[in-house]
Homo-oligomer: A and B are copies of this chain.
Amino acid sequence: MTSLNADRHDRLRLIRTPNIGPVAYRQLLARFGTAGRALEALPDLAARGGNRRFKPCDRHSVDAEIAQVERLCAHYLFLGEADYPALLGQAEGAPPVLIARGNAGLGVERCVAIVGARNASAAACRFARELAHALQEAGIVVVSGLARGIDTAAHQGAGIARTVAVIGSGIDVNFPPENADLQERVAREGLLLTELPPGAEPLARHFPARNRIIAWMSLGTVVVEAAPRSGSLLTARLAGEEGREVMAVPGFPADPRAHGCNALIRDGATLVQSAQDVVEAIASLDPRALRSGQRDFLSQPPSDDLGEAERQRVTGLLSLSPVAVDELIRQSGLAPANVQTALLELEIAGRLQRHAGGRVSLA
């Protein structure tokens, strides 16, 4: 039925289980050693978190997904394996599994993201196309999101065989519709990636998660024309939080599409006028030094001996407002591993939500 070995099958089942996000996934593997043992332990953990009816994802739906992925000529990239995008794997919030079509080797090369407005000016699209072309000539793989405007220009400029498109839908769902041909070409000649299972619709809430893959698999992100509060600025912020280079192309302030990039530059982003500027900016980054300190802390294996009083103390400190995990540790007076365990149990039970910057709230 499936070409995945047993461990990969378990991993996929674990990540497709409700409430298991990237952080919980890593912590469960750290604590139980294998995905199979984690799956066995899940009902108990969920019960301690307050949910006695918890069930892991069943084997059959995972089998069905695997069969569909194979029919689509796609394949899985598992976190920790050699063909998983190299820099993405260094991020704490990296998706445990991706679905890919095309040349997975591109994700292991030096990548730079080019993102920007869907309604970008003709001049900006042309600039993005030329920038992508020059970066490709400098040996860099160009990553973008297959959206209209800047994204499309970036993919085209880089040349399809040297570009990675990360989408916010299933690998078999074309979005936007007018880019269906481009999506198919990227899948055949370049690399098409998604975190979502086949058939997933391009819902608005999928795109921030898509943006983090673009930002985190790249040494740096270049923003070309972006209005304030746009998704492109979110991508830039995610890049910066992960220690990647944030770059922006300035624009004349009379055009509101310039305000986002100009604000980034004012906040310290590298001003980019040419591919040379990008090459110089990322040259100073040492990929091995990109791991953030927080990640090591978060990946500590949670402890397995947690009393009910301690669990209550952590739960009592939580509310609907996100709070930093280290703040919870300080205020609870408990050992970090115990706090992590309480949070993991609550998360699996569906009572906890994780936020950017290592913060958590009640769900």
Contact = CB atoms under 8 A, between A and B. Distances in A.
A274 B252 contact: no
A259 interface: yes
Contacts of A309: none
Contacts of A273: 253, 259, 262
Nearest to A267: B271
Counting every copy of the chain, the complex holds 2
A123 B253 CA distance: 10
A191 interface: no
A236 to B, nearest CB: 16
A253 to B, nearest CB: 4
A99 to B, nearest CB: 37
A252 B124 CA distance: 8
Interface residues of A, number: 19
A251 to B, nearest CB: 5
Nearest to A249: B253
Contacts of A266: 271
A252 B251 contact: yes
B262 A250 contact: yes
B271 A262 contact: yes
Nearest to A277: B266
Interface in A315-330: none
A135 interface: no
A234 interface: no
A231 to B, nearest CB: 21
A265 interface: yes
Interface in A251-281: 251-254, 258-259, 262, 265-266, 271-274
B252 A123 contact: yes
Interface string A98-128: 0000000000000000000000000110110
A254 B124 CA distance: 8
A265 B271 contact: yes
A79 to B, nearest CB: 37
Contacts of A252: 123-124, 127, 249-252, 258
Contacts of A262: 250, 271, 273
A86 to B, nearest CB: 30
Contacts of A254: 123, 126-127
A89 B266 CA distance: 32
A262 B258 CA distance: 13
Contacts of A249: 252-253
A266 B266 CA distance: 10
Contacts of A127: 252-254
Nearest to A257: B252
A259 B123 CA distance: 16
A225 B170 CA distance: 46
Interface of A: 123-124, 126-127, 249-254, 258-259, 262, 265-266, 271-274
| Shortest beta-carbon contacts, A-B, top 4 | A250-B250, A253-B273, A266-B271, A251-B252
Given A124-B252, A127-B252, A250-B253, 4 more contacts: A251-B252, A252-B252, A252-B258, A253-B274
